[in-house]
Structure formats: structure tokens, C-alpha cells
Amino acid sequence: MENKGIPLLGDMFPEMTVVTTHGEINLPNDFAGKWFVLFSHPGDFTPVCTTEFYSFQKKIDEFKALNCELIGLSVDQVFAHIKWEEWIKENLGIEITFPIIADTGAVADKLGLIHPGKGTNTVRAVFVVDASGHIRIMLYYPQELGRNMDEILRAVKAMQIADKNGVAMPANWPNNELIKDEVIIPPAKDVKTAKERLEKEKEGKWKCYDWWLCHKKL
């Protein structure tokens, strides 16, 4: 199946009006000034998706603390989303408070969400969009694998810190095996800057394994 209009990292999130459990929403404009995580799931009333929605809702306050909203999506009708939300509240004791997009297939087609060989089911995709409407992270999971919400939360927090401070984030931040919770200074692009980095290490401002691998505390 040919994927149409799949955006790339750094692209503006495609403008679209979507029908959700909270009414019509204009993306990304209605979230201007906020980050948002749009995540698709294969279908309502499915076991892995149910555990994911429960987990996303449990983390919602942590996302909101980062000025980040959550938006779900699947190729199901609004009434199915509503009934599923009711089931989750009655049986699992938690109320889903974020909107869920009821897609006719148009959104899934634009974002490349249809799972190959799985009919009309959507993949488990995650789009992290920043406050200016640009796509910063895209993650795709198969139907069989549920997502790790702690990782998505970590990624949003890390990107915001990287943007604010002009730094890069190490593997497993903030628990990196080499530099723990410190951040990485982007590599020098010229000889002058490389020498300056080593001088800053001598001054105790940064720590460097070499001129191209320097790190510091925030």
C-alpha cells in the first residue's frame, strides 16, 4: 500500500480538522503554544490498547506539567470511543480525559498509520509535536508491542531541555552510564571552538573525554 504525505522530522504537523470525543479540533492550530503527543492505536476494545490508554491517563498530569497535551486516534467511530471510555471507567476505575480522534482513514493516510497487511487497523504510532507545531519525534510500534509511556514522557522532557539550553541528551538520560544526569555540549564545528572546549575543561566549566565529547551539569 502506498503511503501518502507522510511527514518528516522537523516538518510542520499537517493542518487538519478532526472529529474527536471532545468535538472538532483543528490540528495543530488549537494547540498553538503547547506541545502535544498524538498517538494512534489499532482499535477500541482491544487488550493492549486498553492497557496503553490506562497508562497514558495515569501519566497525564506529568505531561501537562510539561505543557504537553495527549490526543488518541484510531479508525473507529466516535460512539465506539465513547463506549470504550465508559467501559474503562466502569471496569478499571479511571476516566479518560484526553480527546480521541475518530478517523475515517484520512488522518491515518496523511500520517502513514495503516498497518501493512492488517486491514484498516492503525499502527501504534507516536508523534511528538512542539509548541510551534513542528514534528520533533516519530515512533512506530507493531500491534503486538505496547508502548512505554515513561519513555515518551522522558523524550518530551529531554527535547524541551535540549531546546531551552542548546544541548544534546545522552543515552538513557537522566541515568546515563557515563555522565549520569549531565547533558552533552554539541560537537565543535571548527578548530577554534574545539580548542576553546578544552580550555573550558581546564577552567572546570565542562568535563571532556575529548574535544568532541564534552558534558556539563545544567
49 assigned to active site: yes
Number of neighbouring beta carbons within 10 Å of residue 28: 23
What is the residue-wise DSSP string for 78-114? HHHHHHHHHHHHHHHS----S-EEE--SHHHHHHT-B
DSSP 194: H
Q: Of 96, 43, 45, nearest to 73 (Cα)?
A: 43
Q: What is the CA radius of gyration of the chain?
A: 20
The answer to whether residues 12 and 31 touch, using CB atoms and an 8 Å cutoff, is no
Q: H or E element: which one contains 58?
A: helix 47-58
Query: Which of 49, 68, 208, 214 is an active site residue?
Result: 49
Could you list the active site residues?
A: 49
